[in-house]
Structure 1
Amino acid sequence: MSLPLFISRRYFFSKKKKNFINIIAIISMLVVSIGTAALIIVLSVFNGMEDLLRSIYGEFDAPIQVMPRQGKSFELTDDIKFEINSIDGVMGITEVIEDNALLKYNHSQMVVKIKGFSKDFIEMGRMKEAIRHGELSFGSETQPLAIVGRGIQFKLGISLRNEYTPLEFFYPKNVRPGQINPSSYYTHTRILPGAVFALEQHYDDNYVFVPIAFTEQLLDYKGKRTSVEILIEDPSQADKIQDQLTQALGDQFVVRNADQQHEDLYKTLQIEKLFVFITLSLVVAIASINIFFSLSMLVTEKKSDISLLYAMGATPAMIRKIFLTEGAIIAFIGAGSGLLLGFIIVWIQENFGVVSMGVESAVMQAYPVKLIATDFFYSAISIILITFLAAIQPSLRASNQSKFLRIK
């Protein structure tokens, strides 16, 4: 082989090797960018779902709820009402009786949650937007009406137009020994359906709302209540009013805000969000192996340049800093472009609803998303840290190589 041909082949393969290293570095940045964008998008979807649940439950749940610490019910006395109403910011209270009961309609039956409300519930119009058929009303004292969940309506075939077929409720009594008559084993009452609501699947499939007098008669509570819902003037003062109620009512009662009423659900969402964050971070960590290989190949290729820098007076710390800077550039460009890409996609979805739920009866037509600054902060920190760690070993290898050249 002639010398010109040998030199040209070495130049060709050297250039090809450099291009290969550059391609790996670009791929590394793209992987980091896509992983970061995916992380932002998924976290935003969880934020949107959490906000959607709050908005759905906000139509029905009271800002503050008071329940007995022990037992299923308590006697609501005038003293308790006075303690609650005397706190600044309280607009009023809604008395509640809730329990399981057997519902029969025509020849179909199922166990449901029957929930009786005082008249304040209707006056506040808390479920006005959730009514699908009929009117938000409990009727009159002589002709009470029930508000039925849409899921229960479908399962039992309930018709609001049929005024001759009522809803029949059965509730077991505390049977004494020696009683033979079967009718003494349970309480039986009837009520006509007046409206159908669609709020959320759990409520739609399980709940029937009725006047509290009807529930009191069916369950034989005689002045007892299972909970009291507090309506307040300023929702921003909920925590302050909650603390005041806790002090005023003592240890016999549990005072819960809107989030605490569905604490298990929100905790589940937060746990899922955490595991998704960890999973996608691990995916980016695995993808960061490309950064490790690209920098390792760069160290191998730049042996002569490292020795030249050392001959010009460079220290091992300077050599190490050069390769760490190379890794930091990949990390910052990848993470920065990923954050920007994720922000753009989520912003488009939030404002234009490009991705739909695909279900006509869904509460929202488009997937809910929400941007939170802390998601950007923690995502950027984790991605930059992971990719920066991938650059440490090649930089240490480069500095150790300069020490070897010095000894040699």
Structure 2
Amino acid sequence: MQISFFIAQRYLKKQGKTTLIYRLSKLSCYSMGLGTAILIVVLATMNGMEKLLATLFYTYMPTLKIESKIGKTFIADKQLKEKIIDLAGVTAIVEVLEVTALIQLQHQQALVTIKGVSPNFIASDFYKNCTRMDGVNFLAEGQPQAIAGIGLSQFLQWSTAKKTSKNKVAVFYPKAGFYHLHNPYKRLTLELGGFFSIAKKIDSRYMIMPIHFVEDLTDGLHKRTYWEVVIPNMADLESTQTSIQKLLPNSYKVINREEQNETRRRAIFIERLAVCFIFALVLLLASLHIFFMLCMLILHKQKDIRILIALGATPNQIGRVFFYNGLLVALKGILYGLVIGSTIAFLQQKFGIVTFTMGHTKVSYPIEMHGLDGLYTVIVTVLFSLLATLWPVKRAMQLARKSLGN
């Protein structure tokens, strides 16, 4: 093996005048390096885009959410709640009861989603991620208040400038049963206490109210849509989720943000898979340079093959010479590609060289490197390089056996 490797190294070096074989080996090396660098940058860009999408679409979702597997609501269990809060890494549980109701302000109406929250709402991820939150004083002089999304308030032309009856909003919710035909809706009123803004999708159709008000509106005492588990350390997310799931009965489940967005996560995964497949084909085409380089090298070195056979080399050793030659070219190109791709990704991540416009501000193009992406790239490029050497190596061994027979 040492002799075959030594000869393969010698074939890579420039000897005398620049030959076609030397140029082909350089072209093969550079093409593999370029393909590797492109794949590294593309995967890092995909990682950055996933992170950006998470900040855009997941901000209004709790990090961990406990909900019922059966039905939309469940009855709050104080003992279970205390057990979960006692777990290491859990700081609070915010209770939420969400319903869809009709609201009316003066002569304007809208169908909205009402988010009833417990008094410790300020500990929630929703509150922390809001870009605007006028206040969370849900009780003013003993009367419940609502906080409306900024888009919803603009649609209905609400104002909190003056404490007048115009700030009074009527909330209508269907009564349960068939015996309310003449008066099918329950009607409660409360004042608008402020506005919030977190995401356009939520701002245009959500209102936040005290949970006891929503219980009274829906006649759903102690009913909850979900519990939001507040954890300060995201590094312990997986272990905390597992610990909570062990405490929960079979009718409950705890899900993280990615699991709450299963459809979007699957779409991103399919897109990432498609991009990786396309650029893997680019690497496959780049590996063809190694194939043609080895074919030309074998034709050029037929005299050397006969000399090596005469000196006692076996066909397997001859095959290893060209196998190592192709592998060395590929590894050299992969090394160049990893260095170039990682450098480009690092510079973009550190200095934000490439930017795009979001709204009225310029944002650096998101990019984030993962170690597994580099491993995936190396595995794919080495595999394609090995495939590219199979036929040339087999051909070299056939020529060696032919020379041995003669």
Fold in common (TM above 0.5): yes
Native 8 Å contact 2:25 2:293 kept in 1: yes
Note closer, same or farther for the CA distance 1:127–1:184 as it changes in structure 2 (3 Å cut).
Answer: same
What is the match of residue 114 of structure 1?
114
Cα distance in 2 between the residues matched to 1:292 and 1:125? 55
Cα distance in 2 between the residues matched to 1:282 and 1:347? 25
Q: 1:377 Cα shift?
A: 1.1
Cα distance in 2 between the residues matched to 1:162 and 1:330? 76
Native 8 Å contact 2:94 2:124 kept in 1: no
Q: 1:271 Cα shift?
A: 3.5
Cα distance in 1 between the residues matched to 2:81 and 2:383? 56
Cα distance in 2 between the residues matched to 1:79 and 1:207? 30
Native 8 Å contact 2:144 2:210 kept in 1: no
Native 8 Å contact 1:93 1:231 kept in 2: yes
Q: Which moved more, 1:43-52 or 1:345-354?
A: 43-52
Native 8 Å contact 2:60 2:129 kept in 1: no
Cα distance in 1 between the residues matched to 2:316 and 2:45? 44
Note closer, same or farther for the CA distance 1:87–1:318 as it changes in structure 2 (3 Å cut).
Answer: closer
What is the match of residue 145 of structure 2?
144
Question: Where does structure 2 lack aligned partners over 5 or more consecutive residues?
Answer: 1-14
Give 1:185-224 correspondences, 5 Å limit: 185=185, 187=187, 189=189, 191-192=191-192, 194-199=194-199, 201-224=200-223
What is the match of residue 260 of structure 1?
259
Q: 1:57 Cα shift?
A: 6.9
What is the match of residue 9 of structure 1?
none
Q: Which moved more, 1:42-51 or 1:391-400?
A: 42-51
Q: 1:65 Cα shift?
A: 2.0
Note closer, same or farther for the CA distance 1:178–1:278 as it changes in structure 2 (3 Å cut).
Answer: same
Give 1:167-316 correspondences, 5 Å limit: 169-174=171-176, 176=178, 179=181, 181=182, 183-185=183-185, 187=187, 189=189, 191-192=191-192, 194-199=194-199, 201-232=200-231, 234-316=233-315
SS at match of 1:229: strand
Native 8 Å contact 1:149 1:206 kept in 2: no
What is the match of residue 51 of structure 2?
51
Amino acid at match of 2:149: V
What is the match of residue 395 of structure 1?
393
Native 8 Å contact 1:83 1:249 kept in 2: no
What is the match of residue 379 of structure 1?
377
> After superposition, what is the alpha-carbon deviation per residue over 1:290-334, rounded to whole angstroms, capped at 9, x for unaligned?
221222122222222322332333221222112112211221122
Cα distance in 2 between the residues matched to 1:156 and 1:36? 55
SS at match of 1:127: helix
SS at match of 2:98: strand
What is the match of residue 32 of structure 1?
32
> After superposition, what is the alpha-carbon deviation per residue over 1:272-291, rounded to whole angstroms, capped at 9, x for unaligned?
32332222112211232222
What is the match of residue 404 of structure 2?
406
Aligned-pair identity in percent equals 30
Native 8 Å contact 2:98 2:116 kept in 1: yes
RMSD: 3.4
Cα distance in 1 between the residues matched to 2:108 and 2:299? 78
> After superposition, what is the alpha-carbon deviation per residue over 1:227-270, rounded to whole angstroms, capped at 9, x for unaligned?
11222465444444434433333112112244433344334333
Q: Which moved more, 1:231-240 or 1:384-393?
A: 231-240
Q: 1:398 Cα shift?
A: 1.4
Note closer, same or farther for the CA distance 1:52–1:404 as it changes in structure 2 (3 Å cut).
Answer: same
TM-score, with structure 2 as normaliser: 0.81
Q: 1:376 Cα shift?
A: 0.7
Note closer, same or farther for the CA distance 1:86–1:125 as it changes in structure 2 (3 Å cut).
Answer: closer
Native 8 Å contact 1:36 1:338 kept in 2: yes
Note closer, same or farther for the CA distance 1:159–1:308 as it changes in structure 2 (3 Å cut).
Answer: farther
Native 8 Å contact 2:137 2:193 kept in 1: no
Native 8 Å contact 1:146 1:211 kept in 2: no
Amino acid at match of 1:33: G
Q: 1:406 Cα shift?
A: 2.7
- The number of residue pairs the alignment matches comes to 388
Native 8 Å contact 1:131 1:195 kept in 2: no
Note closer, same or farther for the CA distance 1:87–1:322 as it changes in structure 2 (3 Å cut).
Answer: closer
Q: 1:342 Cα shift?
A: 1.0
Native 8 Å contact 1:175 1:185 kept in 2: no
Q: Which moved more, 1:133-142 or 1:344-353?
A: 133-142
Native 8 Å contact 1:335 1:383 kept in 2: yes
What is the match of residue 101 of structure 1?
101
Cα distance in 2 between the residues matched to 1:202 and 1:220? 28
Q: Which moved more, 1:383-392 or 1:287-296?
A: 287-296
